[in-house]
């Protein structure tokens, strides 16, 4: 069967088999239900059919609500009782260039063209504001593909009233709005349509006959792109790229040819392709993707390749380096253990089909793209699969690679200590803790969206919900930032507690796995207990809801001294009396801690 979760997207296969695939996939266990409303400026049933297949294949159980054709503005700006009752988690505004209403006349001035563009965007702002006022949903908004025809030819991209130039201006204004509205996510239709070609994107016959704004191939590409965005929203984007070396990162076999003879640089087309591949990988690291090596090589020999004067990647770019003769799937498991990351967050790139097959069979949760010795083609496959899709880019994201590199140094240090407490003391950890505050709200919402392993209830919160909770006196919230002698880990743990008389219900408790076993959970419990007692609470009540990814915290409350009061392995409730509570944290210095309840 065609691998429907990988690029390239086979639209013909999807069209022929969509309903059969839906029946098959719905017969399997599905991890997460999601409600998606589609507000269509064009007919959206084909797109929704493809999207349902792709989401089911990724473990989602999607339920859809469709607006009536062409009523996207009315349902959003003026409201719709059915839409409100559906209570979507995601709202997709499926619009395109056919839905632009304020095209400027060809003879208008530049100022008048700019006014027309801002008037058009004002209409979409009404859509977004209307939806946000009635819903906490994340809104996915298309930008615009370029027009199918150009009245002015090439000058259409120059003249302010030219439709190409006007569309580009609209897209720039939409991008500005997305940056200012964290609940708004861009679906980059302009890029997608350019990539597959406008003639492959839009078929006038389909539009005039059925009001379908896209071809089947375009609908499939849209569905694939939306699936990547939705996966990113729910923390399913990949975080780690594990690389083979020979004929993957450089050309040739370093053990046979020697470091001086590997193919890299600018002298030949093949060498330049590997250089381009390395440049791409290094840019992934710069944006926060963790890099690792799993290579069948002698360690010293493999490392020599990164000393080549033309190598873009350096040893310091890798957070874990495994060059030996052990099976690669075992090395990858060891890398996951070192980084404290789940295997489902890994991508493994290797030109050898036998190695790819072995890793894929032994570690089925890992993404294993079908790359080859053709570095240029491999780069395109990595990029098109959108493994590393993101909805935002924070300072913590940009620092992630260096933070995981710091973890390797911490692991080396730990090996020198027989006593774990002495190791923790040697880290010289310091923290900042306090109630949710404006500088951190977007990061907190981001963490709730993508943290899956150390997450007791796996509740997802939009930025609007986090802002509301932060203002509500009925909630006690806490975040923790952690730093140590090896660097700043950033904001890594979040708790949301809800007051009910003398009980504080812990609705959310999550933590980044990169700070596991550092006593952060003890510090968080101290913070929570202090704030709860100040607010008049005498009991903490914690909840655990099992998911396929959070088994590691199934006994979290037990380890902290809570008492089980109800539940099973799948869901449990725990209580802790606060009357005689004694602080538990001994190894983390509290710098800048706020004890203000909120």
Q: What is the pLDDT along the chain (598 residues), one digit of tens a residue?
A: 468 999 999 999 999 999 999 999 999 989 889 999 999 999 999 999 999 999 999 999 999 999 999 899 999 999 999 999 999 999 999 999 999 999 999 999 999 999 999 999 999 999 999 999 999 899 999 999 999 999 999 999 999 999 999 999 999 999 999 999 988 999 999 999 999 999 999 999 999 999 999 999 999 999 999 999 999 999 899 999 999 999 999 999 999 989 999 999 999 999 999 999 999 999 999 999 999 999 999 999 999 999 999 999 999 999 999 999 999 999 999 999 888 888 999 999 999 999 999 999 999 999 999 999 999 999 999 999 999 999 888 777 777 767 676 666 676 677 677 788 888 889 899 999 999 998 899 889 888 988 888 999 999 888 888 999 999 999 999 999 999 888 888 899 999 999 999 999 999 999 988 788 889 999 999 999 999 999 999 999 999 999 888 988 999 999 999 999 998 888 999 999 999 999 999 999 987 654 443 4
Q: What Å distances lie between residue 206 and 43, 191, 215, 576, CA to CA?
A: 10, 21, 7, 63
For residue 408, what pLDDT is reported? 65
* Structural element, H or E, at residue 496: strand 487-500
Query: How many H-runs (helices) and E-runs (strands) does the chain carry?
Result: 22, 17
Is the bond leading into 307 cis (omega within 30 degrees of zero)?
A: no
Residue 307: CB partners within 8 Å, gap ≥ 6?
259
User: Contact, 192 vs 221, CB < 8 A?
Assistant: yes
240-384 against 429-590: fold identical: no
Q: 11-233, superfamily in CATH?
A: SGNH hydrolase (3.40.50.1110)
* Structural element, H or E, at residue 486: none
β-partners of residue 296 are: 324
Q: What is the DSSP string of 154-166?
A: GGGGTSTTSHHHH
Give the separation between CA 95 and CA 89, rounded to whole angstroms.
19
Question: Domain 240-384 classified CATH 3.40.50.1000?
Answer: yes
Query: Alpha helices, DSSP H only, in 415-519?
Result: 420-426, 441-450, 463-471
For residue 513, what pLDDT is reported? 83
* Pairing relationship of beta strands 429-434 and 588-590 according to DSSP bridges: parallel
Tokens of 417: 């200590």
How many Cβ atoms sit within 10 Å of the Cβ of residue 589?
Answer: 13
Query: Alpha helices, DSSP H only, in 234-327?
Result: 254-257, 269-286, 299-304
For residue 596, what pLDDT is reported? 41
What is the three-class DSSP state of 42?
Answer: coil
User: Contact, 594 vs 437, CB < 8 A?
Assistant: no
For residue 31, what pLDDT is reported? 82
Q: 429-590, superfamily in CATH?
A: Gcn5-related N-acetyltransferase (GNAT) (3.40.630.30)
Say what the pTM is. 0.85
Going from N- to C-terminal start, the domains of the chain cover: 11-233, 240-384, 429-590
For residue 463, what pLDDT is reported? 84
For residue 594, what pLDDT is reported? 46
For residue 597, what pLDDT is reported? 38
* Structural element, H or E, at residue 576: strand 571-577
For residue 515, what pLDDT is reported? 85
What's the chain's Rg over C-alpha atoms?
Answer: 26
């Amino acid at each position: 069967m065609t691998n429907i979760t990988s690029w390239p997207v086979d639209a013909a296969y999807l069209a022929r088999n969509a309903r059969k695939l839906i029946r098959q996939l719905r017969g399997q266990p599905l991890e997460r239900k999601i409600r998606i409303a589609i507000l269509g400026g064009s007919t959206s049933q084909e797109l929704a059919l493809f999207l349902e297949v792709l989401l089911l294949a990724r473990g989602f159980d999607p339920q859809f609500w469709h607006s009536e054709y062409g009523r996207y503005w009315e349902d959003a700006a003026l409201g719709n009782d059915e839409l409100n009752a559906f209570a979507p988690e995601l709202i997709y505004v499926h619009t395109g260039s056919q839905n632009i209403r304020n095209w400027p006349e060809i003879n208008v001035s530049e100022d008048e063209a700019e006014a027309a563009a801002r008037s058009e965007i004002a209409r979409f702002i009404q859509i977004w504001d209307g939806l946000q006022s009635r819903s906490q949903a994340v809104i996915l908004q298309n930008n615009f593909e370029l027009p199918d025809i150009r009245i002015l030819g090439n000058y259409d991209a120059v003249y302010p009233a030219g439709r190409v130039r006007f569309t580009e201006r609209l897209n720039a204004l939409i991008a500005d709005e997305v940056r200012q509205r964290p609940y708004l996510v861009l679906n980059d239709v302009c890029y997608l349509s350019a990539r597959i070609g406008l003639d492959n994107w839009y078929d006038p016959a389909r539009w005039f006959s059925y009001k379908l704004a896209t071809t089947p191939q375009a609908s499939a590409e849209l569905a694939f792109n939306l699936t990547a965005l939705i996966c990113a929203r729910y923390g399913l984007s990949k975080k780690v790229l594990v690389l083979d070396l020979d004929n993957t990162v450089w050309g040739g076999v370093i053990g046979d040819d020697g470091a001086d003879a590997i193919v890299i640089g600018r002298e030949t087309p093949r060498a330049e392709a590997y250089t381009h591949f390395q440049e791409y990988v290094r840019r992934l690291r710069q944006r926060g993707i963790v890099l690792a090596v799993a290579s069948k090589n002698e360690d010293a020999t493999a490392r020599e390749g990164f000393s080549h004067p033309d190598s873009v990647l350096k040893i310091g770019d890798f957070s874990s380096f495994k060059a030996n003769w052990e099976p690669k799937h075992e090395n990858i498991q060891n890398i996951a253990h070192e980084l404290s990351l789940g295997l489902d967050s890994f991508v493994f790139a290797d030109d050898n089909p036998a190695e790819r097959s072995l890793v894929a069979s032994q570690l089925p949760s890992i993404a294993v793209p079908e790359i080859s010795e053709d570095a240029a083609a491999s780069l395109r496959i990595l990029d098109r699969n959108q493994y590393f899709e993101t909805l935002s880019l924070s300072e913590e994201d940009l620092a992630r690679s260096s933070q995981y590199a710091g973890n390797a140094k911490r692991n080396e240090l730990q090996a020198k200590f027989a006593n774990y407490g002495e190791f923790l003391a040697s880290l010289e950890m310091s923290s900042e803790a306090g109630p949710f505050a404006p500088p951190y709200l977007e990061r907190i919402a981001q963490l709730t969206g993508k943290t899956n392993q150390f997450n007791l209830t796996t509740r997802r919160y939009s930025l609007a919900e986090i802002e509301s909770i932060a203002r509500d006196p009925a909630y006690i919230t806490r975040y923790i930032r952690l730093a140590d002698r090896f660097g700043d880990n950033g904001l890594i743990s979040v708790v949301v507690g809800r007051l009910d008389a003398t009980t504080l219900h812990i609705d959310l408790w999550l933590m980044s796995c990169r700070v596991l076993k550092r006593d952060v959970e003890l510090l968080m419990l101290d913070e929570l207990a202090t704030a709860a007692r100040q607010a008049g609470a005498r009991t903490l009540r914690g909840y655990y809801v099992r998911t396929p990814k959070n088994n590691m915290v199934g006994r979290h409350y037990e380890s902290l001294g809570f008492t089980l009061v109800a539940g099973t392995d799948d869901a449990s409730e725990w209580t802790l009396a606060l009357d005689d509570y004694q602080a538990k944290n001994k190894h983390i210095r509290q710098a800048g801690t706020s004890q203000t309840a909120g």
